[in-house]
Amino acid sequence: MSLKQGIGSAEYLVKRVPKNVKYQHIKSKLDTGCSLTKYMEKVEYMKSNYRYKKDEIFKRLKVTTFAQLILQVASVSEHNLSLSECELNTPEDALSVASEELESLTVRSAERQDARDIHTARSTLLSVINGTGELSVEQSPDPESSLDSDRPYPDCPYLLLDVRHRDQYDSCHIISAHSFPATFLHRTMNPYTKEVLEYKNAPGKIIIVYDEDEHIASQAATIMCQRGFENLFMLSGGLKVLSQKFPGSLVSGPLPPVCVSSSDSVRGRRVSPPSGHTRAEQRWRFTADELNHLTVQLEEVLLPSNNSSRMSSRISSVSSQSARSRQSSSSCSSRPWR
């Protein structure tokens, strides 16, 4: 006589715990290694934030690499500026510069007085002939100063281009980015600006294009690579991934609704998109607070990928220290007592 009776019901083995949407964004801090769930989450993240294609002819630039590039360029420019200030603050140089300035001022004052008498009569004659007003030599803009003001840093190794529409650039863009709508590429005459022509295939310089979600930037990068741009990169993920990795550090102005929803859904927050049209501040350089904030965020982003290596290095250092202590104890025990 056999007894075919189990303990409990088999339905409890199949039944799953219902999920609560309120705590869906909370995850465990314990890393249990690779799993199918983590792999599927990574695949979904790649599909929602990136647009990879098999026939891409342009190169991609990671957001973390772009942040490291910004920090390096800012540190190098600050170092060069401090060196130039130290050179000018030396006593011998200060005396020589002061003496040269005094001599130049005396010579210039005499030359300007003579030039004013000649230039006033000539400028009035030319203004009558050409139909323009008098031109002031003293107030004429310096081409070198205007050229430097158009760049984020002197001799900057990268040129950041926003290929979205001009209105979208005015509302929100990355600091130090130039507006270069993708519609410029369809022009028959002069499709490129002077900055693009200066950086095109220049040694030691690159061009970076970006948009919100790689939809426009991938097309623009493909066209420019087909036209001979060899140093062109596309910012992988665009503003969408940039707002997730480094919120509030690299962007000027309120983020677009696509970037706001994607970045806040990861953290489990609900933030309404910005209302009204606000113009973003156009700046070519980052402030010290923004650079410090970016450094902290970059360390937080790069730490999870290096946890295993750091743990292994710590284990190896602890094992080496223990081995050294054992060797020292054995050598002390082997020595004869005196």
Greatest extent of the chain over all pairs of C-alpha atoms, in Å:
129
Q: For the segment 263-291, what is each residue's pLDDT rounded down to a tens digit?
A: 454 444 444 444 455 677 888 888 889 99
pLDDT, mean of residues 236-255:
90
Q: Report the pLDDT value the prediction gives residue 158, as an integer from 0 to 100.
A: 94
Long-range interactions of 301-309: CB distance < 8 A, separation 24+: 301/64, 301/245, 301/246, 302/64, 307/31
**Which helix (H) or strand (E) covers residue 160, if one does?**
strand 158-162
Between 144 and 198, the more confident residue is 198
Domain at 47-78+153-301: CATH code: 3.40.250.10
Joined tokens for residue 194: 């002077």
What gap in Å lies between CA 236 and CA 221, rounded to an integer?
Answer: 12
What gap in Å lies between CA 195 and CA 26, rounded to an integer?
Answer: 46
Q: Report the pLDDT value the prediction gives residue 151, as an integer from 0 to 100.
A: 55
Question: Is the distance from CB of 175 to CB of 250 less than 8 angstroms?
Answer: yes
Compute the CA torsion angle 55, 59, 63, 66 (nearest 10 deg).
-170
What gap in Å lies between CA 331 and CA 5, rounded to an integer?
Answer: 68
How many helices and strands, by DSSP H and E, does the chain display? 12, 7
Q: Report the pLDDT value the prediction gives residue 218, as an integer from 0 to 100.
A: 94
Q: For the segment 118-156, what is each residue's pLDDT rounded down to a tens digit?
A: 444 444 444 544 444 444 444 444 444 444 444 568 888
DSSP string of 9-22, one letter each residue: -THHHH--PPPPGG
Between 109 and 332, the more confident residue is 109
Question: Is the distance from CB of 251 to CB of 243 less than 8 angstroms?
Answer: yes
Nearest-5° Cα angle at 195, 52 to 230: 40
In angstroms, the Cα distances linking 38 to 35, 43, 104, 261, 294 are 5, 9, 71, 22, 27
The residues spanned by each domain of the chain are 47-78+153-301
Nearest-5° Cα angle at 45, 39 to 49: 150
Query: Which stretch of 6-10, 56-60, 90-94, 179-183 has the lowest confidence by average pLDDT?
Result: 90-94
What gap in Å lies between CA 98 and CA 49, rounded to an integer?
Answer: 58
What gap in Å lies between CA 258 and CA 237, rounded to an integer?
Answer: 12
What gap in Å lies between CA 194 and CA 127, rounded to an integer?
Answer: 30
Q: For the segment 101-123, what is each residue's pLDDT rounded down to a tens digit?
A: 656 655 565 565 555 554 444 44
Q: Report the pLDDT value the prediction gives residue 207, as an integer from 0 to 100.
A: 96
Between 228 and 270, the more confident residue is 228
Q: For the segment 40-93, what is each residue's pLDDT rounded down to a tens digit?
A: 888 888 888 898 988 899 999 999 999 999 999 998 888 887 777 666 665 555
